[in-house]
Amino acid sequence: MGLGYIGLPTAAMLAARGHAVLGCDTDPRVVKAVASGQAHFREPDLDSLLAAALATGRLVAQGAPRPAEVFLIAVPTPLGPGNRADLSAVWAATDAIAPLLKPGDLVILESTCPVGTTEALAARIAAARPDLALPMRGVPAPPGCVHLAHCPERVLPGAMLRELVANDRIIGGLTPGCAESARALYAGFVTGQCHVTDSRTAELAKLAENAFRDVNIAFANELADIAIGVQVDPWAAIALANRHPRVAILAPGPGVGGHCIAVDPWFLAESAPEGAPLIRAARAVNDARPGHVAAAIRALARPGAAVACLGLTYKPDVGDLRASPALAVAEELSRDGTLRLICCDPLLAALPPPLAGRPGVVLAGLESALAQADVVAILVAHRAFRALGAPALQGRTVLDAVGMLVAAV
């Protein structure tokens, strides 16, 4: 259920391992693209895996589910009003499969969610299907029950297929029997360890992974501001601090993006409204970061200057714009029209919203962008940019927001 960044690779992988897989998505364009063998996002080797799965007939894409033995929900869980989880897609998927369920079926929730969501999913199914036996947390499973588990995704865009197989997985069941049913499925393609636990622990562990990185990135960003204020190179200072055997400070940058790190910490805060001051503070630091970087660029550029923004995606060598801090920096610089903005990103074929059509903003190749620029802002350390030598930047003011040009200490 859901053929996005997680659902589609998982569907193709399961089909490659011999399962008959029905991939469902509510977007007809996604269904059409998948049925034709084209992934609707960039991911190395996914098109070839998808083509092989379709060729065998083991993968079919359509808009609605049909009866099966396993139902895997991998739909988006974005932030809604008040920085609370929007679970509407999870509930829509649950409502779609509820009429199809039969005793012994397995329902797996892979979508990242607040603690307790798997139990709420079971309650929703029980309300729709009072004829079915549903498990409850901490209670022995009734005979012939539908099994429910939370198995959060843990993959990195750009390396999804490798990590889908190699990474350890957390298998959290409403009961031990539910967890074992889910573990048996994942063990068929995961070479990493499958760690069995309860659903709440699995939900919390996934959120903790991303909140850990968010808090530590916030510390790195705050430390960078302090270092610059006292005229110290932050990357040099961090590299030296990391020579300590028990210190591993992360890299500062223009902010935090992607589908996880900028979102999931709020799900923890939602679970403990009065008990997450550190998580909320880290979110505030990282959310403010693109504005700080844009202000620093403005301070270097006279009115009417040409600013080359190198990189718009949220991370190096990945064409994903979700919550991209680099895109937020470019958007902020383009707001008042006082600067000419030359955007360069080798992974994009066109300017994305909201930059598309904005006066004074163009997309250009690297050579052209550098030739026109008065100020060069390095916002994403794409491979094509890492190959730049000092002569290519000579005579230009450079703001390196990601430490790409800093030599290792």
The number of beta carbons lying within 10 Å of the beta carbon of residue 37 is 15
Among candidate residues 206, 309, 315, 343, the one labeled active-site is: 206
Rounded Cα distance between 135 and 133, Å, is 7
Rounded Cα distance between 156 and 196, Å, is 22
> Which residues are 362's β-sheet partners?
342
Has 32 been annotated as catalytic?
no
Has 24 been annotated as catalytic?
no
Rounded Cα distance between 131 and 363, Å, is 58
Rounded Cα distance between 397 and 382, Å, is 20
Write out the chain in H/E/C secondary structure.
CCCCCCHHHHHHHHHHCCCCEEEECCCHHHHHHHHCCCCCCCCCCHHHHHHHHHHHCCEEEECCCCCCCEEEECCCCCECHHHCECCHHHHHHHHHHHHHCCCCCEEEECCCCCCCHHHHHHHHHHHHCCCCCCCCCCCCCCCCCCEEEECCCCCCCCCHHHHHHHCCEEEEECCHHHHHHHHHHHCCCCCCCEEEEEHHHHHHHHHHHHHHHHHHHHHHHHHHHHHHHCCCCHHHHHHHHCCCCCCCCCCCCCCCCCCCCCCHHHHHHHHCCCCCHHHHHHHHHHHHHHHHHHHHHHHHCCCCCEEEEECCCCECCECCCCCCHHHHHHHHHHCCCCCEEEEECCCCCCCCCCCCCCCCEEECCHHHHHHHCCEEEECCCCHHHHCCCHHHHCCCEEEECCCCCCCCC
Among candidate residues 145, 178, 260, 344, the one labeled active-site is: 260
Q: How far is CA 2 from CA 64, 71, 137, 397, in A?
A: 10, 11, 26, 45
First-to-last C-alpha distance (Å) of the chain:
47
Q: Catalytic amino acids?
A: 206, 260
